[in-house]
């Protein structure tokens, strides 16, 4: 992996820029550039054909100055320690940026989940959980869904942890099915937040939903609910993509139809969806639009395509979709980037509500969840917006100012043990 696309190197660059601009003490930079704990485990799985396969699993706790570690578990063929370290660091900033009492963590297994049966995935999830059991827990580090994991995996994870402990521990992970301690609204929360933050940005910049178009890269959990919520706000979603390619309709896609198409177990991808023009992923990113929401992977907006983007603003649904070099080009071109640590924080914020409800054993209705979610996201957006205006910095820089300042303050107040 080149240094420009190594996510951890990019995460360090972003931290360096923020610390330099804020005049943060070098000791704090040094502290924050080292993840607190990195665990790598072998995950042996008996495959359905009787053979054994061993997968690599990772869990990184970046920092716990503000609270227990929090962050998802992803299943993907390119997962490695540097990616998980970067994602864990971004979780520290995300939780601090929205002001929820967590540190940052992340985990993953290097596996292509599409090649495993449901039974194999269950054995993999259970063995991975057992192998990291000493570093996770409701008071220490709380996993959640991320790329290619969802409520099903979180159910297995909670069960495995609980069986080992001898009693039910709802709060060990979030994003669980609502029947077993999950929260209403968690499935929609990340995409809801992306659209909510995009909408707040639009309001501040005099953009009207009915005159604005959105392009969404990635149609997993985040992309799907970004599209549905944006449609509810009155925006026109003109293109979406998934692993099968891009789908474009200049006068607006039928979001409900496309959502129903991908939700059909007979499809699972958008392949075969006919009511749109087929385009490539590169073409999709370069479409003329108001809001571009990359909701797929890291390193999608790079120096190669940053000069060709034709959106007014990038709102990051994925973690780390824009490289620091591309950020610079976009800033020079006057294209704002509303960063991941603010734009996609709706998911972890709702995870926080789930954990709170689990600990109280008292569950909220959907209206309460959404009301509290919007309240936290609005406050975070306003904190960042204020700094953008006062300090004349980019949205990413402003979000880092808010986040790094809060973490640095917590480290300072707690002091260094012993």
Q: Walk across the sheet containing 277-279 and list its strands.
A: 277-279, 245-248, 236-242, 213-217, 291-294, 313-315, 336-338
Instruction: Quote the least distance from Cβ 308 to ligand GLU, whole Å.
Output: 27
What CA–CA distance (Å, rounded) separates 227 from 155? Answer: 27
In the list 183, 351, 370, 394, the residue contacting ligand GLU (rule: CB under 6 A) is: 351
Say how many C-beta atoms besides its own lie within 10 A of residue 274's C-beta.
7
What CA–CA distance (Å, rounded) separates 38 from 58? Answer: 7
Q: Does the protein bind ligand GLU through residue 319 (CB under 6 A)?
A: yes
What CA–CA distance (Å, rounded) separates 34 from 283? Answer: 38
Site string for ligand GLU, 87-106 (x = CB under 6 A): -------x------------
**What is the helix (H) or strand (E) element at residue 292, kind and residue range?**
strand 291-294
What residue is closest to ligand GLU based on CB?
Answer: 72
In the list 174, 188, 212, 241, the residue contacting ligand GLU (rule: CB under 6 A) is: 174
Instruction: Quote the least distance from Cβ 271 to ligand GLU, whole Å.
Output: 26
Q: Which stretch binds ligand GLU (CB under 6 A): 111-119, 206-214, 344-352, 405-413?
A: 344-352
Q: Which stretch binds ligand GLU (CB under 6 A): 49-57, 70-78, 115-123, 327-335?
A: 70-78
Instruction: Quote the least distance from Cβ 347 to ligand GLU, whole Å.
Output: 4
Q: Does the protein bind ligand GLU through residue 83 (CB under 6 A)?
A: no
Q: Show the beta-strand stretches assigned E in 23-151.
A: 37-46, 52-63, 69-76, 104-110, 141-145
Distances in Å between the alpha carbon of 186 and those of 78, 95, 310, 333, 342? 26, 16, 32, 36, 17
Catalytic residues, by residue number, are: 106
Q: Which stretch binds ligand GLU (CB under 6 A): 264-272, 300-308, 340-348, 373-381?
A: 340-348
Q: Does the protein bind ligand GLU through residue 151 (CB under 6 A)?
A: no
| 357 touches 36 (CB < 8 A) | no
Q: Does the protein bind ligand GLU through residue 312 (CB under 6 A)?
A: no
Q: Is 196 strand, coil or helix?
A: helix
- Closer residue to ligand GLU, CB minimum distance, 72 or 209: 72
In the list 72, 185, 220, 223, the residue contacting ligand GLU (rule: CB under 6 A) is: 72
- Comparing C-alpha atoms, which of 102, 179, 112 is closest to residue 144? 102
Interaction site with ligand GLU (CB under 6 A): 70-72, 94, 144, 146, 174-175, 319, 344, 347-348, 351
């Amino acid at each position: 992996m080149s240094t420009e696309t190594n996510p951890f190197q990019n995460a360090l660059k972003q931290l360096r820029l923020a610390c330099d601009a804020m005049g943060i003490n070098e000791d704090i930079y040094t502290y924050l550039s080292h993840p607190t704990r990195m665990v790598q485990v072998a995950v042996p799985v008996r495959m359905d054909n009787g053979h054994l396969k061993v997968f690599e699993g990772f869990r990184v706790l970046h920092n716990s100055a503000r609270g227990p570690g929090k962050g998802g578990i992803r299943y993907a063929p390119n997962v490695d320690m540097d990616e998980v370290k970067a994602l864990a660091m971004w979780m520290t900033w995300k939780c601090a940026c929205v002001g929820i009492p967590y540190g940052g963590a992340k985990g993953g297994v290097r596996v292509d989940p599409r090649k495993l049966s449901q039974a194999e995935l269950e054995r993999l999830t259970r063995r991975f959980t057992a192998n990291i059991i000493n570093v996770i827990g409701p008071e220490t580090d709380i996993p959640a869904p991320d790329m290619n994991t969802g409520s099903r995996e979180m159910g297995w994870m909670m069960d495995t942890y609980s069986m080992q402990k001898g009693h039910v521990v709802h709060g060990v992970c979030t994003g669980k099915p609502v029947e077993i301690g999950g929260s209403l609204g968690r499935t929609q929360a990340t995409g809801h937040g992306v659209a909510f933050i995009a909408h707040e940005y639009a309001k501040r910049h005099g953009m009207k939903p009915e005159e604005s178009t959105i392009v969404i890269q990635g149609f997993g959990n985040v992309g799907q609910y970004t599209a549905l919520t944006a449609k509810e706000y009155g925006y026109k979603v003109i293109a979406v993509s998934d692993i099968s390619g891009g789908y474009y309709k200049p006068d607006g896609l039928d979001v409900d139809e496309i959502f129903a198409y991908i939700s059909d177990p007979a499809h699972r991808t958008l392949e075969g969806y006919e009511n749109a023009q087929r385009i490539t992923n590169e073409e999709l990113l370069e479409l003329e639009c108001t809001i571009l929401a990359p909701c797929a992977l890291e390193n999608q907006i790079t120096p190669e395509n940053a000069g060709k983007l034709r959106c007014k603003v990038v709102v990051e649904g994925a973690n780390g979709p824009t490289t620091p070099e591309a950020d610079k080009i976009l800033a020079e071109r006057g294209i704002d980037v509303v960063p991941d640590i603010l734009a996609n924080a709706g998911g972890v914020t709702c995870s926080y509500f789930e954990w709170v409800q689990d600990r109280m054993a008292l569950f909220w209705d959907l209206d309460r969840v959404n009301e509290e979610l919007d309240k936290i996201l609005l406050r975070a957006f306003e904190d960042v917006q204020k700094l953008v205006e006062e300090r004349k910095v980019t949205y990413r820089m402003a979000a880092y100012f808010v986040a790094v300042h809060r973490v640095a303050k917590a480290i300072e107040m707690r002091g260094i043990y012993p």
